[in-house]
Amino acid sequence: MAYHRLQVRKRASSLTGAQVRQLRREGRIPAVVSRKGEPSLELTAELKELQAAAHHTGIGGILMLVDEQSGDEHLGMLKVLQWEPVSRKLLHAGFQEVNASQVVQTSVTLIFHGEPEPVARHEAQLLKSSESIDVTAQVRNLPTAIALDISELTIGDVVTAGDVPLPEGCEPTNPDSVICSVAAMRIATPEEEEAAASAAEEEPSMPELVGQRGKEEDSAE
């Protein structure tokens, strides 16, 4: 499997506020890779590259982290992204080190193909319950995305995770979880249409402003 690669640099295990601000001025942000039984790797990554990588893989995606200086490579599962609540700037990234033969549970992005005929005729609507699917697989067998053809769906059809064709070596973590469904468009009854039309025709009465009558009386005096 070809992994999305992200260039990183090692950093000190603890940074002062001034050092973090300087990193961000340089267009870099801190990141950490948690490792089982070993000290965490303290890293920095170029902000734009990290954002592009996160967009490509999503949370739970696997990245190949490459040390710019030594060339050392570490497989990391993206576990968390920390954002500034107001500006929504990316502040920090957290990874979990994995190996190619390790079995993991993660979510994989779904790419929907086609359009159900009833939806195209405006007789039904496609209801997406999820844009991803939770799978269990060895890291080497994880796809970057999974295609789902929905063109043959009709009214009343429900697609669960167990219905999604998965690559060899992947299993749905929750086979009964709903991915999408096709529901008929609800048509208003004549009584409902008449009630709506009547409500639209009614002119709302203008409320009397408090104190308005007193002002008019004072003017008359």
Give yes or no: residues 13 and 90 share one domain.
Answer: yes
The pLDDT, as a whole number, for residue 80 is: 94
Asked if residue 53 is part of any domain, the answer here is yes
Give yes or no: residues 137 and 85 share one domain.
Answer: no
Token reading at 27: 């267009």
Give yes or no: residues 123 and 92 share one domain.
Answer: no
The pLDDT, as a whole number, for residue 88 is: 86
Non-local CB neighbours of 156 within 8 Å, separated by 6+ positions:
182, 183, 184
Question: Residue 66, by phi and psi: left (phi above 0), alpha (psi -120 to 50) or beta?
Answer: beta
Non-local CB neighbours of 110 within 8 Å, separated by 6+ positions:
130, 131, 132, 133, 145, 146, 147, 148, 164, 179
The pLDDT, as a whole number, for residue 15 is: 81
Give yes or no: residues 63 and 120 share one domain.
Answer: no
How much is the CA Rg of the chain, to the nearest whole Å? 28
Q: What b/e readout covers 41-61, taking b as 16+ CB neighbours within 10 angstroms?
A: bbbbbbbeebeebbeebbebb
Asked if residue 208 is part of any domain, the answer here is no
Task: Identify the CA nearest to 103 among candidates 136, 130, 81, 151.
Answer: 136
The pLDDT, as a whole number, for residue 21 is: 86
Give yes or no: residues 81 and 119 share one domain.
Answer: no
Give yes or no: residues 16 and 79 share one domain.
Answer: yes
Token reading at 186: 């609800």
The pLDDT, as a whole number, for residue 205 is: 52
The pLDDT, as a whole number, for residue 31 is: 94
State which residues form the domain around 176: 104-184
Give yes or no: residues 111 and 146 share one domain.
Answer: yes
Give yes or no: residues 36 and 55 share one domain.
Answer: yes
Based on the structure, what is the number of domains in the chain?
Answer: 2
**DSSP type of residue 209:** P
Task: Walk along the chain (221 residues) in steps of 10 and give the mean pLDDT of each run.
Answer: 87 84 90 93 94 87 92 93 89 94 92 96 95 94 93 97 95 97 80 69 56 51 51
Cβ pair 139, 163 in contact under 8 A? no
Cβ pair 133, 100 in contact under 8 A? no
Give yes or no: residues 167 and 87 share one domain.
Answer: no
Q: What b/e readout covers 1-39, taking b as 16+ CB neighbours within 10 angstroms?
A: eebeebebeebeeeeeeeebeebeeeebbbbbbeeeeee
Whichever domain contains 55, its CATH number is 2.40.240.10
Give yes or no: residues 119 and 73 share one domain.
Answer: no
Give yes or no: residues 71 and 93 share one domain.
Answer: yes
